[in-house]
Each structure stands twice: as structure tokens, then as C-alpha cells.
Chain A
Amino acid sequence: MALAEGVLQLIEDAANREGFTRVRTIWVEIGRLSGVEPEALAFCFDAVTRGSIAAGAQFEIVHVPGSGHCLECGRDTELQAVYDACSHCGAVPVQVTGGTEMRVKELEVD
């Protein structure tokens, strides 16, 4: 819920700067390893934006896969979870290098 409020705040800040009055669509980047449940965020976003300039906006999630660097074999590997083993050599642990982002990318506005 706090994250959804954070998204709305970024939108309202942008509205002050850019002078738009309605948001049609919002693109939010959510990494596989960010710990955010995209559906829950979309649901909360609907709730917190009621009565705001983003009311009824389409919430588009851009999924970012998890990636890591294996400390054992030195190769990069895709991760479904932060505790996954290296897909090449099976070693754990793998250093996480990507997929933890939660960012507001862009808005389509009037």
C-alpha cells in the first residue's frame, strides 16, 4: 500500500511539473526479485488513486527478469528467486545483479 502511495506521489509531482490533469496509462517496472507482488500493487494502486488525477488509469507492469553472477563459475545466470542456484554449475550462492527494481517508467497523460 505504501508503494502504491509512492507511485501516486511520483505522478502528482510530475503533474505539478508538467501541468497535466489526467493520467491514462502508467508503466511501472517491477523486477522479479524486488519482493513486490505486481497484482497486489495494481490492486492497491486502484484503491489509492480513487478521486485523484490517476483515477481509472491503466496500470501496466513491465516485468524485469532476475539475474545474477555466479561466484563459483563466474558466469551470469537468470534467477527466479534470490536463493536460486547457478543454472550453469549448480552452485549457491549467486550474487544478484538485476531484477530488484521498482520504478515508474512513464505516463500517458492528458
Chain B
Amino acid sequence: MCTTCGCGDGETRIEGDDLHDHDHTHADGSTHRHPHDHAHDHGHAHGHSHAYVPAHSHAPGVAKSRMVQIEQDILAKNDAYAAKNRALFAARGIFALNLVSSPGSGKTTLLVKTIEALRGQAKVAVIEGDQQTSQDAERIRASGAPAIQINTGKGCHLDAHMVGHALEKLQPAEDSLLMIENVGNLVCPAAFDLGEAHKVVILSVTEGEDKPIKYPDMFRAAKLMLLNKCDLLPHLAYSVAGAIEFARRVNPGIEVIRISATSGEGMAEWLAWIERGAAVARRQRAEAVAAL
């Protein structure tokens, strides 16, 4: 395990390379190659702890034991990496979205259609997360956008550290849109902040309309729900109003767009939603530059 980065999973690969088998730059500016485990002195740990001799020892009679207060979130390390990614996005005016859904919701197809629709109007880059294969990244590249594949191996979600390394390779342009397609999973990706502006959850109408309350954490974490495959509604006994009601029950503020990558329904609304967010990211970067 790399104690600098804290990556515990040796199976993660980016574009076929082991996570650390390449040069990379740390926050302190040092660039180096480290293909395998070794320790650094400069840690990323935050918070503080202090040892004390407890008045309330939990092991009476055992003099040697002592208490150490930690008081740190289990996800503190991920959150520190997410903050770094977020700072990079802010500095470059990048609007980053974390796309989450079940497998088979039509995420990749929707992404390809979105890239095609934005061609000539916006710079788009993509980070693809899957347990295995680079098929999705290849699909995205075929649509004309630079894409990088992260294979999580046995991991069921992307974390901020993997995304940070993918960004070093991808080098997304200033004022661009970054779409991060997470591993198809409605559970774990909810907990892992990648530094994105928003999570966008995609629910297709061929899934159960009660998914928002079956997987409440994901729908609570999302800013926008795309109700995909709406072209199939005439063939289904699916209640759009029911799905929206379930989603609002776990997340009163969630926005909803009905969409179909196949028929094009809702695409204009989705593109307008993206443009509003991207405009904010561009403006904030311009203001930050002007303030220098």
C-alpha cells in the first residue's frame, strides 16, 4: 500500500497501467516515479489527535494500555483528495459531473449522445470507471472526446484518489466539461466525493420507480435525476410522477429531467442545465484570474 496516497487497492488500473506505475506530481511540486510500495514522510493526514491517560480506562488493571482520540471521518482521506480535485477544477474553470446509476441505465449511450450534441460548442473530456475492460472509454473516444479508463478491479466505485491520477493523464482543458462516469452501482459511489460540482443520477424507466427509496443515499447525494429511456414509456406501466415523488421524498431539492438518448426528448433541457453550470465555473475562474 502506498502510504502517501493511501491507496489500499493494488488492483486499480488506469488505461491498463497500475495506479502508480508512472511519474506523478504531488502537491508539493515534486515529480517522481514510484512503481511500487514505499513510504514518504510528507503525509496528507488532517485533523489532530492526542494521547492521554484516561480517567475512564476500559481495561482496568492493565497499566500499559492508553486511549488515543481520533475523531476523524472514515472518509477523511478520500475527502482530502476530493478537495484537491475540486481546487484543480476551480483553477481551470472545469465543470465536473459525477454520473451515477445502476448498470444498464443507458449512461454511456446518453454520454455519447451528449458529446455529439456538444461537438463544436464545448470541450468535453471523460473519465470512465468500470471494474474491467476499456470498452466504454473506446466508445467515448470514437465519439470524439478524450477519455481515460479507470478499472477498479474488485472495487465497486471510483474514489477521489483514482480520479486525481486519471486527471494527471487526461489533463482536461480550461473551461471544459468533465464527465466522470462512475461504476454502475447505486450504493457505494454515493459516499465517495470525487471533487465534482454535482452528482447526476440516471434512472431508466425500465427499472423500478421505487429505486429512489431502495437506494436513498444515492438519490439524496444527487443534484439532478435524469429519467432516461422515456421513449419506452408508452410500452410500460411506469409512473413518472411516482418515481419523482419517491426521489423528492429522500431529496426535496432534486431536479428532474425526462430524457431519451434514443428519441432526443429532453436533450435540449439537459444541455441547457450543463451550460448553466459550466457558465458558473467559467465565470468563477475568470473572476479569480481578474483578482490576481
Do they bind each other? yes
Q: Enumerate chain A interface residues (CB-CB to B < 8 A).
A: 2-3, 5-14, 16-18, 20, 24-25, 28, 35, 48, 71, 81-83, 92-93, 95-96, 101-110
Interface string of B104-144 (1 = CB under 8 A from A): 00000000000000000000000000000000000000000
Whole-angstrom CA separation of A3 from B220 in the bound complex: 20
Find chain A residues with CB under 8 A from B157 CB. 2
How many B residues touch A, CB cutoff 8 Å? 45
User: Residue on A with the closest CB to B54?
Assistant: A108
Q: Is the CB of B74 within 8 A of A82?
A: no
Whole-angstrom CA separation of A18 from B65 in the bound complex: 13
Stretch at the interface among B30-38, B94-102, B166-174, B244-252: B244-252
**Known contacts A2-B192, A14-B49, A106-B69; can you find 17 more A-B pairs with CB under 8 A?**
A5-B8, A5-B9, A6-B75, A13-B43, A16-B43, A17-B45, A25-B58, A25-B59, A35-B187, A35-B191, A83-B249, A95-B252, A102-B75, A104-B72, A105-B69, A110-B64, A110-B66
User: Residue on A with the closest CB to B215?
Assistant: A35
Q: Which of B159-195 contact A (CB under 8 A)?
A: 159, 187-188, 190-192
- Interface residues of A: mostly helix, strand, loop or mixed? mixed
Find chain B residues with CB under 8 A from A82 CB. 216-217, 220, 250
User: Residue on B with the closest CB to A60?
Assistant: B58
- Chain A nearest CB, measured from B218 CB (Å): 9
Find chain B residues with CB under 8 A from A92 CB. 249
Whole-angstrom CA separation of A83 from B211 in the bound complex: 12
Q: Which of B21-57 contact A (CB under 8 A)?
A: 43, 45, 49, 51
Candidates A12, A83, A107; contact of B67 at CB < 8 Å: A107
